[in-house]
Structures are given as structure tokens and as C-alpha cells.
Chain A
């Protein structure tokens, strides 16, 4: 059904097929989506337990804590990005597909964001309330988390591709991705803090948006290269 004269729909169709397949798999195994979410909530819960529940402290540290929790939860979910496909051999099928591998990798990454980043963003207001963040600040929190988790999914897909199938790949993935994710954390969390203090948030949002665009244009190719190297 793919028309030779219009190759572009073929690529998009292939990408959508990959994304849909991953979404279906997540639907069948809701734990894969829920576990990182619970982790997110747990980490956000641990901080007041460890540091004390004083209101000023919470509101002050809220943006940072929530951002770190989101970062760690995303790392948790990144492990599974290529794992199940690696186990059942469908990853190799992707590699021999006539469709360009970067597009297919992007398809999987989109599915990953929809099942990990997006839920985090949607749950964050609930946690923001517990941290006494005002509504306007929560809006900025959600915006920065959206841009940030998109970048994390993209950046993380490269790390996941490099470590797929490795012994203790999960720990290695975290070690590889965390230093690279630092700029996202810094700009994301501090921008939300600025919003809380009433300062301008434009610079931070622009940075996060620019980073996401850069990641979108480069990561799929790096992921594809890494997949070929890991699986050959």
C-alpha cells in the first residue's frame, strides 16, 4: 500500500505504527506507566519526611524537589525503552526495516514521552499543591516539565540505546544521562523558582525550548547509530 512516488507517508506511517505499538504495549502493562509515577510521588514525599514539613521550606524547595523527582522517575522509565523489544527480537526487526531507523527511534521515543513524561506533567499539579506552590507557579512548573521531559526522553533514548542488553545497564544509564541532564534540571527548576519569586521566566523557557528543538533534531540519529552499534 506504500506508493513509491510518495515515500514521505511511508516514513510517517512507519513511525506512527511504531508509536502505536508501544502505546498498546503500555496499555496492556499499566505497571510500566504507573510505577515511575508512584516513584515520582514517593520521592516528592520523602523530602518533607527527611527535611521537615515547615511551610516556608517546602514552598522554597518545592520546584527543585519536584524537578529532581521527575528526573529520577524518567530515568527509571528509560530503562524499559528498548528492553522488551531487545528481549523478544523485535529490535532487530526494526534495524532491518527499509524505513529509516532514526524515524523509528523517534516513534518509540514519542511513545515513551506519552507514557512517562506526559503523565508526570499531569500529576505534577497535585504534588505542587502539597508543596504550597501557587497556581501560576504550577503552570510554569507544568510548562518546564513538559519541555524538560521531552528533552529527557530524547536524550535518554540515546543512553538507553547505548546500554541496551548490557549487564547492569540500568545503573550505567543513570550514570551516563544524569550529567548530561544537568542543564535541564538547572534551567527547569530555577525557572519555576523565579516564577515563585515573581521574576521573569522568559530566559529559562526559551532555553528549555531551544534544548528540546536541538534534542529533537539530533537525538534520533544518535539513537539510531547507537542501536546499530549495540545490536550488530
Chain B
């Protein structure tokens, strides 16, 4: 673990780890998509439109997981002063924002045939995702506003932790608020006993998305590390020896 935390070691190891995440991830997504689109029976209320769940739920799940990864690694960086941890937080933010955006778009598209509108303020999931997106933007805006990289790391870490404490509060508030009016929601709360034909592809998609996210994160963090270490000796040696080999 300590060796992994050393930037040069991480830089070498990361590309070798990526395939172990990408390949199973893509396979799971392929299976999940096929089974979700063609094998699962249509929902008795929503017909075939419910199949959007197979991309909407994994995106939403990942948008929250990415925030947790960001907050936890930011916390680790802040408390134990690990440079790599801050790099992970920085790398996770844009990915999390993308998945949040995807959750919002797929949620909106799903809502159109269900409610007749592209947006429903009453849907708890859409509201939560929207606020999540603002949290990500705030984090990235704060990072961008601070010139000193170490200061940017630490300040955004405090913000990420404050946000993390608030995320459950925000979710709870949105749930309570949307329960006040019996509005339409994308996913019926509680839900009937889900057909295993419906459930397995969903689990596969969630797991597949997670693995792909991990692979993307590894690559982003690798670039982040390279950038942060650009003036160090090991980077110089590495680049020169790569040059010499050409």
C-alpha cells in the first residue's frame, strides 16, 4: 500500500492495472445491455421505456460513489498528507460530474414518455442528481479559483468533506419534499418483487460501470500525478530514457 502511494511507482503500475478493470467492465456492460434490452420482460406499467433504468441507475449510483471516492481521498490527503490521495480526488471530480450529467439526461429522457414533460421538479432522483451536479461544479470551481496547488488541494478537500456530510441530508430533504405531493417518480418506491430477469442485467450494468469508472479514474489520476510531478527527477529520467530508446 505504501509503495502504491509513491508517485513514480503508481505511475508505472497504473497502466498495467487498467486492463484488469476495463475488460471485465466492458463485458459486464455488454451482457447487461443485451439482457436488459432484449431478454428482460417489459414492465407492466412502463412497457419498454423502463429499460432506460439500465443506464440511468448505474449512472446515478456512480455519481454518488464518485463523490464518496472524492471526499474520502480528499480527507485522506488532508489528514495524512498523501499527495496521491489529492490527485485521486482531483481526478474523480470531473468523472463524477459526467456521470451525474448522464443520470440527469437519461432521467429526463425517461421522464418524457412517462410524464409528458422533459423535467419534473417533483422527482426526488432528478432533484438529488441536480444538486449533486452543483456540488461537483462548486468543488471544481473552488479548485480552479485557487492558484497555489497545495492550497487548492486542501481547500477543496475541506469543501468535499463538508459536502459529503451534507449529501445524506440533501437526499433526505429531497425525499421528504417530494413525498409531500404524490408526484410521479421514475422508479416506484419499494417496487414489486423484481423479476430476476430484470435484476441481474441491472446488477451487471452497475458493476460494469463501476469497473469502467475505476479504469477511467486510474488513467486520470496517472495524468494528474505526472503533471504534479513534472519537475521532479524521476519524471525527467523517465522521459529522457524513453527518448533515448526511440
Contact = CB atoms under 8 A, between A and B. Distances in A.
Nearest to A229: B154
A87 interface: no
Given A158-B162, A162-B158, A190-B177, A182 B137 contact: no
Q: Which among B131, B159, B165 has the highest number of chain A CB atoms within 10 Å?
A: B159
B180 interface: yes
B17 interface: no
B154 to A, nearest CB: 4
B151 A232 contact: yes
B162 A180 contact: yes
**Interface extent on B, as a size class?**
20 to 34
Interface string B121-153: 000000000010011011001100110000100
Contacts of A158: 158, 162
Interface stretch (A9-17, A135-143, A218-226): A218-226
A40 interface: no
Contact of B176 (A168, A186, A232): A186
Contacts of A190: 177, 180
Nearest to B148: A232
Interface stretch (A46-54, A88-96, A106-114, A171-179): A171-179
Interface stretch (B4-12, B29-37, B106-114, B166-174): B166-174
Given A166-B145, A226-B158, A182 B163 contact: no
B14 interface: no
Given A162-B142, A167-B145, A172-B145, A179 B134 contact: yes
A169 B180 CA distance: 36
A222 B158 contact: yes
A158 B142 CA distance: 13
B85 to A, nearest CB: 16
A183 B158 contact: no
Nearest to A199: B180
Contacts of A172: 138, 141-142, 145
A183 B170 contact: yes
B155 interface: yes
B64 to A, nearest CB: 14
A82 interface: no
A211 B169 contact: yes
Contacts of A166: 145-146
A182 B131 contact: yes
A225 B155 CA distance: 9
**Interface extent on A, as a size class?**
20 to 34
B170 A225 contact: no
A158 B155 CA distance: 10
A183 B155 contact: no
A116 interface: no
A187 interface: yes
Interface string A133-171: 000000000000000000000000010001100111100
A187 B173 CA distance: 7
Contacts of B174: 186
A169 B170 CA distance: 24
Q: Which among A180, A187, A222, A232 has the highest number of chain B CB atoms within 10 Å?
A: A180
A222 B166 CA distance: 13
A222 B165 CA distance: 12
B8 to A, nearest CB: 27
Given A172-B141, A179-B134, A182-B131, 20 more contacts: A158-B158, A163-B142, A163-B145, A166-B146, A175-B137, A175-B141, A176-B142, A180-B163, A180-B166, A182-B170, A183-B166, A183-B170, A183-B173, A186-B176, A186-B177, A187-B176, A190-B177, A222-B158, A229-B151, A229-B154
Interface of A: 158, 162-163, 166-169, 172, 175-176, 178-180, 182-183, 186-187, 190, 211, 218, 222, 225-226, 229-230, 232
19 contacts: A158-B162, A163-B145, A169-B145, A172-B138, A175-B137, A175-B141, A176-B138, A179-B134, A179-B135, A183-B172, A190-B177, A190-B180, A211-B169, A222-B161, A222-B162, A225-B158, A226-B158, A229-B158, A230-B151
